[in-house]
Chains A and B, each alone.
Chain A
Amino acid sequence: MRKYTIVHIGLLSQGFMGILGGGGFTLPVITQAEVVEVKITVTDSALKQMKNTIQGEENSHCLVISAQSGGCSGYLYDMKIMEKPESGDFQIQEFEGVEVYIHNNDSSLLNGIELDFKDTLMGGGFNITNPNASRACGCGQSFG
């Protein structure tokens, strides 16, 4: 499970002060505290598919893998080929010229994952095996 910290940033809660009659109080903002160094593995079939998809745009585009709340088991994987984000909050791993970005906020959930690709008509596509997951949904998109 991820770890968190509470940071007191007064000005961020101004709107909330207003709705309660302008009495004036500030609320601590909760941010994530634990960032781990991410190391992922990519199978040959996944790498081949990544290269096919991103072909010719390796310099400007990357694969971003992330996690968000939802799904049957608590979290959902999200994968996008997109222009390389400018934020410095990402950890980057390169696989034969293709860069995979993982945000620091997702580092503890996604560290150690193996990215695979199955070339089948039914149930095909990218597949993630996650050592941090205690359970996973049958569809493979959700974990917890």
Chain B
Amino acid sequence: MIKLQYKSSCCRYYIREHSVTVVEGKDSVKHINRIITSNITEIKDLENCKSLICDANGKITDALEISSISGQLLILGIKENAEKTRELIVSGTHWNEDVKIMNGDGALKIISIFAKNQEQVSNILGTEISTMGDDFWIIENDSYILKVKLKNDYQVNILIQTDLIDSFINTIEGNGAELCDEGTWDTHRIENGILDNEEYNQGFLPGELGLDEIVDLKKGCYPGQEIHARLESRGKLSKKIMRFRTDSRLDVGTYLSNTGRKVRVTSSLGNQGFAVISLKENSELKINDELLISTEEL
């Protein structure tokens, strides 16, 4: 078991920016469902679903969190991919369907609050999180709260209007939360297997990032479905994302292992991070004849 270190005694928060798209109209679910990898036809009010958009080669082009809120779909995606994804959503609207697409970039932000202890997060929020599910938003004053299921730590995501963020931060800082830097956030996400833009934007297949559970091969056609179905039926996935550790330094980049296979480091804290590695490699492998890394599944 790889152990990472960040100051565990306090509760941290990190502000994340996403692309924000709102889709409304009676055909909005049907329309979005044709584009994404998962099936949201049965999405319920306040439910949050993870999904992907892939290209015709089956490679990920955006990672989405889709929520149904008061009859509208709130779609959070990778900020850098906002325009491309929205073009896809707009261009695929059928002339006879009731779908309206709105750009909400900058209007909403997500604050992730995390700690080693569940009680700490509850105290910061002033709301008990142990009874919350991890699929549905809870409405609390002007914000929406979603508990995030993690391997080691406890985290909630707060969806809030950008205009209201200052007063919210004042409240949680008053309760003891500390703003964390990018390095601390990366440590948290690497320890808990949370993928981010660094992984999603590298043109990987869903299976290579361990995201098979948000790919529904029975829902019908979507871009990339043919490739995903073929991979599933023939079992030919050749590489997968792993968490690595090394005694030396291994930065983001592509390396060759001693067996001549590629090792693509997508996120790195220096001596630990995520890398996409051939499934034929052992759990310990050498790079350039000297750097020994050990790996484990997320």
Contacts and interface: CB of A to CB of B under 8 A. Distances in A.
Contact of A23 (B94, B161, B224): B161
B161 A20 contact: yes
Contact of A68 (B24, B34, B223): B34
Interface residues of B, number: 43
A1 interface: yes
Contact of B221 (A32, A66, A70): A70
Interface string A109-144: 100000000000000000000000001010000101
A142 B221 contact: yes
Nearest to B142: A21
A31 to B, nearest CB: 8
A135 B70 CA distance: 38
Summarize A's interface: helix, strand, loop or mixed: mixed
Nearest to A17: B161
Contact of A29 (B92, B96, B102): B102
Interface in B120-178: 141-142, 144, 160-161, 163-164
A32 B90 contact: yes
A73 interface: yes
Contacts of A78: 94
A70 B222 CA distance: 5
Contacts of B87: 1-2, 4
A23 B87 CA distance: 28
Contacts of B226: 72, 137
Interface of A: 1-2, 4, 6, 12-13, 15-16, 18-21, 23, 25, 27-32, 66-76, 78, 89, 103, 105-106, 109, 135, 137, 142, 144
Interface of B: 22, 24, 31, 34-35, 55-56, 69-72, 86-97, 100-104, 107-108, 141-142, 144, 160-161, 163-164, 221-226
